[in-house]
Structure 1
Amino acid sequence: MDNNVQSDVLEHILEVTLNMAETRSLDPLLTYVLDKAIELVKAERGFIVLVDPKGDYVFPVARSRDGQTLTDAYEQISRSIVSEAIGGEKPLIVNDAISDPGFSDASSVLDLQLRSVMCVPLKTRGAVIGVLYVENRSYSGIFHESALTPLNIFSNQAAIAIDNARLNAELEARVADRTSALRDAVDQLEVKASEAVEQNRLRTRFLSELAHDVRSPLGLAITSLTTLVESDLFGPLNAEQQLWINKAVSSVDHAMALIEDIFDLAKLEMGQLRFYPERVDLPRFLEDVYQVGVGLPWGSNVVFRAEIPNDLPWIYIDQTRIRQVILNLLSNALKYTVEGSVTLSAGYVEEEDVVLISVADTGEGIPPDRQDILFERFQQVDDNESRRKQGTGLGLAIARDLVEMHGGEIWVESEPGAGSDFRFTLPATRSD
């Protein structure tokens, strides 16, 4: 092959290589590679044979020189020549297969009357993935050693492109499978979410109706009980009778508090809780709440105090709801503080433009594993202890919702045996 012809061939191979690199899909790539190989060596027909993961031969494409697709590719080639090229991992040129001692006994060579055959391995990443097989049945000696070098270069580039296309196809198949699985999972989640929403709606409706139906009889019961005691209808009560009356009143009060919590929870979940924000003088508001807190049944060994600066900013809040939040926190501190102190305090955080309100106690403290779930529905500091102290597991959850409705955050800082500090923020509005 003279220099001009060799230069033209190499230029042609370079052009074909660039086109192969741009072809991502396997089937079009195989057809393009085979057509160009047939053109390069002027063969009558060509075949690409690939090796599958099991080691079996696959015949994805077979073409003639005029661009026609050949059928029954498996029966149109010599498996002996293919196996020799793959096993030896080197190209083969057979000038006259029907008379070649190495292949003349092969049934496929005899049946097909094969003459000129060139078979070049497709090798990439150190492994043979198939062969490029071209032939001419009309004449012997068509393919020369000079054609082997350019075809070998061509086949090496083709092997890389084919391997990349196969990997791309496998990746796309995996992505498609995972996308389908993800879509199925999303569909299932949507169904479950819809079912959960409906169940939650029914539960909330039930709680609301239950609270409504029970609240009135309980209110009537406590009113009647109080009236009966105050009337002295049956004469003065002795100490034991007074004790049982007090227990009855306390139990009804607890039941009423539970019903109110359930009622508030139901209204929150149904989006029916009325919210009336107004501009509030925060120090005065907190002082009023503190005075209400003073009336709680603090133990003789507990000091309840307030630390409220006079220069706190004005804020927009629903006074009833924020009072409910603070009293919930105070009631919680009351249950878990046997001795020491409970402090209601507040301050302005200029960097965040928020008011920070705190209820800190010197009580039992909260284990770290309970702190993250403390503000969830029906969660308590300690189940057994909370039942003994008549906890409902709703007060903190309601407090969280009410604070978040105001655009604030609520959290707890606590160590077992060192007390707890419940804190929440509210957006501040500075006075003019």
Structure 2
Amino acid sequence: YGFRRNENNEIVEADSFISDLDNLEAGSEIVYGNEVLGTIRIYITTRYMKDVLIKNLVAHSTLVILLDIVLVVLMILLLRMRIIKPILELTNASFLIASGDLDLDIDVSRQDELGILSHSFDDMRSSIKRQIEELKNHHNNLEKLVNERTKELYLANEELINHDRMKSDFVVMVSHELRTPLAIFGNIVSNILAGILGKINKRQRDNLMIVEDEIVRLARIITDFLDISKIEAGEVSLRFEQISFQSIISDCIETIRSLSDAKNIELVVMMPKEDIFINVDRDKMKQVMTNLLGNAIKFIPDCAGRIIICMEDRDHEIVINIDDNGLGIPDENIDKIFNRFIQGRKQVGPGAHGTGLGLAITKELIEMHGGRIWVENSPTGGANFRFMIPKKVTSNTCQISK
């Protein structure tokens, strides 16, 4: 729109107004009274005005953008100072604590949520440090106590070893000292029973036979003590030889035959037909078999007794099974029957007493041959002793003989 001032100095609409993108043109007639004196036209270009306006707009926009950037940077710095930096400090502190540094200082001066978090973190650090110090103190006290107890146990163990050595030496000495007089007594009793020193009546003979049995029993006890002492001292040496194990069983059967006949006990032997040769100490294996068979005879009553001796041939070993129908072993003694001075139960029969060393010696001798021994109660009554000995020659056939 175009405007002009009239003669009364009032702004009124111009008579004509022309504009385009680059120019402004306004015109108006000059009237005096009723007469038109002429026309006045004003032409103005807008190109300069637009350039100035654009320059001002760019200048103001650039200023606003710069101010916004400065404001954003200030906000980022403020955010970093107030939030990000404390979080990074706590993160770094957590890594230091995890690595074992519990003496670091944590800033707890803030009063906002991060300050609460810092307080909690510092309390955790202090608690961990205090607990570690307590654990160190307990560890030091415990280590000191363990050292003291270890020293006490070492001294006590040394004392026990000395006492055990003195006991073993005393047993060996007494056994050796008793062996000679017992042998003399045995010879004297044998001579009297043989009539060399004159005739004796039936009552005297019965009493002397009891004395002879007791001398034999005492000699066996002394032998057990000497054997176990030698085993403890590691003085037992084995003389290995290739020998038929059937011959060992046969010799032991003949040795204890009189004892089994005296109690009316039947002996059943089951062995392979072909000889099985194994590398063993013959005397020690005879001692093993004699101990096990003698034990079985002790625990069988004087009527309807039966002992089954079976030899099993396996690929690389032989297994000997000695099964009796005696009293068996109480369940509470099964696991400790091979311990020293342990007896399964009271033996049956007058004068049938022992030291509880026979099975312990038997176990040691079998293990010295690389074997093992175990026992279980038979479901039909009695005990079933089994032991295994490694061998080299195999044979499979089995026969029954009485």
TM-score (norm. length: structure 2) = 0.71
Determine if contact 1:222/1:252 at 8 Å carries over to the other structure: yes
Q: Deviations over 1:172-198 (max 9, x none)?
A: 433333333333333222222221111
The answer to whether residue 164 in structure 2 is matched with residue 200 in structure 1 is yes
Q: Letter of the 1:13 partner, please give it.
A: I
User: Identity over the aligned pairs, expressed in percent?
Assistant: 24
Contact 2:330 2:345 in 1 (8 A): no
Per-residue deviation at 1:297? 4.1
Q: 2:240 aligns with which of 277, 296, 299?
A: 277
Do the aligned partners of residues 387 and 293 (structure 1) sit closer, same or farther apart at CA in structure 2, a change above 3 Å counting?
closer
- Does residue 363 of structure 2 align to residue 395 of structure 1? no
Counterpart check, 1:32 vs 2:66: no
- The number of equivalent residue pairs is 319
Alpha-carbon distance in 1 for matches of 2:283, 2:78: 95
2:313 aligns with one of 341, 348, 354:
348
Alpha-carbon displacement from aligned partner over 1:201-260 (angstroms, at most 9, x marks no partner): 11111111111111011111111221232134322x332122111111111111111111
Please give the per-residue CA displacement for 1:251-305, whole angstroms capped at 9, x wherever unaligned: 1111111111111112111222232122222233333333333343434531012
Matches of 2:252 and 2:89 in 1, distance apart? 85
Matches within 5 A, 1:31-110: 31-33=103-105, 36-37=106-107
1:355 Cα shift?
2.2
> Which structure has the larger Rg over C-alpha atoms?
2
Question: Secondary structure in 2 aligned to 1:200?
Answer: helix
For residues 355 and 261 of structure 2, what CA distance do their matches in structure 1 show?
Answer: 20
Distance 1:278 1:11 in 2: 87
Structure-1 separation of matches of 2:347 and 2:253: 30
1:266 aligns to 2:266 (yes or no): no
Structure 1 gap segments, 5+ residues each? 38-131, 135-142
- Is the 2:378–2:384 contact (alpha carbons within 8 Å) kept by the matching residues of 1? no
Aligned to 1:273, what secondary structure does the other structure show? coil
Aligned-pair CA distance for 1:15:
4.1
TM-score by length of 1: 0.66
Specify which of 80, 83, 89 is matched with residue 7 of structure 1: 80
- Alignment equivalent of 2:124, drawn from 134, 157, 160: 160
Q: 3-state DSSP class of the match of 1:412? A: strand
Q: Which residue of 2 aligns with 1:252?
A: 215
Q: Distance between the aligned counterparts of 1:182 and 1:354, measured in 2?
A: 47
Q: Structure 2 matches for 1:268-417, cutoff 5 A?
A: 268-310=231-273, 313-338=276-301, 339-350=304-315, 353-383=316-346, 388-414=351-377
- Please give the per-residue CA displacement for 1:85-144, whole angstroms capped at 9, x wherever unaligned: xxxxxxxxxxxxxxxxxxxxxxxxxxxxxxxxxxxxxxxxxxxxxxx5x5xxxxxxxx7x
Residue in 2 that maps onto 1:149: 113
Deviation at 1:388, TM superposition (A): 4.8
* Maintained 8 Å contact 1:365/1:416: no
| 181-190 or 11-20: bigger deviation | 11-20
Structure 2 residue matching 1:298: 3-state secondary structure: helix
